[in-house]
Amino acid sequence: MSFTGLALGCGNFGGIGSSPEFFGQGIAEATAFAIMDRAWSAGLRWFDTADAYGGGRSETFIGCWRADRQPDGLVLTTKVFHSTRGEAGDTGLAPDRIRRQLEGSLERLGVDRIDLYLAHEPDPETPLADTVATFEQLRAEGLIGAWGLSNYDATGICEALAGGQPALLQNSFSLLDRADERDVLPLCAERGIAYVPYGPLSGGWLTGKYRRGEAFPAGSRMTQRPGPYERLVDDGVYDGLERLAELADERDVEMTTLAFAWVLSHPGVSGAVCGPGRPEHLEPVLVAPSLDLSYDDHQLIGGLFP
């Protein structure tokens, strides 16, 4: 199976990512259904989640939506590492834990096979060879179609490659987060690993919602879980955002569209995960694949930020 194009990110269904303090919050089920309906009607056939998103609620919402809508051809990605119960010791990629967590995912999603199963992050307590061997065995048993990695660096990818072939890598990548350009993207291209990042809008920073000298909007990522993005509160970043807005206006598109299109047009990128908070947030993303950026456009936009 080839994993390319746009995937609907369901990380905020029933919570905010895997953070236990937000389990039961985030996007409510009715809104999640509306988002999935809009994504499906727009042609998105790939939904991305994780067992611990919302403490299992994200998978449950998707499973209920599947049961009600009976979509034909839906591709599902889920991930394993974090606790679905918020227990500090209930984490990791030990073989027996992977099997236990997979059983829960299959039940919540209402399927007998996961199309793509990802290690959500490295587990320093478990040899990666043991994790990869477990993934390969699950694939042989038909319980997963393929496996991959999320939040792994080049060293971790090479270690995984010693035991099998990951189908996909899902790391953070955007105009404001380009560390993978140095060695990860070239490695994925060389070894035939699809690179489909999350966070192409950097927690909303590339949508234009955060403005110099203004308070962060209520309910935004910067008021809920700002830690990963605090480094962006910088005049150089605001300068780049203002210029990005001008370039978007020149093309008669939203900043969201231009930032997303830059990621999709990047050499070595196979697709991207979009995580809308409401159905209408999908609209500028859906335009991005058709926005034609030349090499010069890509270089100009990529040079906006320090």
Q: Which residues are catalytic?
A: 53
Q: Is 137 helix (H, G, I), strand (E, B) or coil?
A: helix
Q: Which residue has the tokens 């969201």?
A: 256
Q: Which of 226, 228, 288 is nearest to 255 (CA)?
A: 288
Beta bridge partners of 50: none
Residues written for the chain: 306
Here the contacts of 17-21 (C-beta below 8 Å, separation 24 or greater) are 17/53, 17/225, 18/50, 18/52, 18/53, 18/82, 18/83, 18/120, 19/225, 20/55, 20/83, 20/86
Here the contacts of 29-33 (C-beta below 8 Å, separation 24 or greater) are 29/57, 29/61, 29/64, 31/278, 31/279, 32/58, 32/61, 32/65, 33/61, 33/64, 33/65, 33/68
d(CA 163, CA 218) in angstroms, rounded, equals 46
Assess contact for 78 and 61: CB atoms under 8 A: no
Q: Please report, as a single letter, which amino acid is at residue 121.
A: E
Assess contact for 257 and 291: CB atoms under 8 A: yes
Q: Which residue has the tokens 């993207």?
A: 185
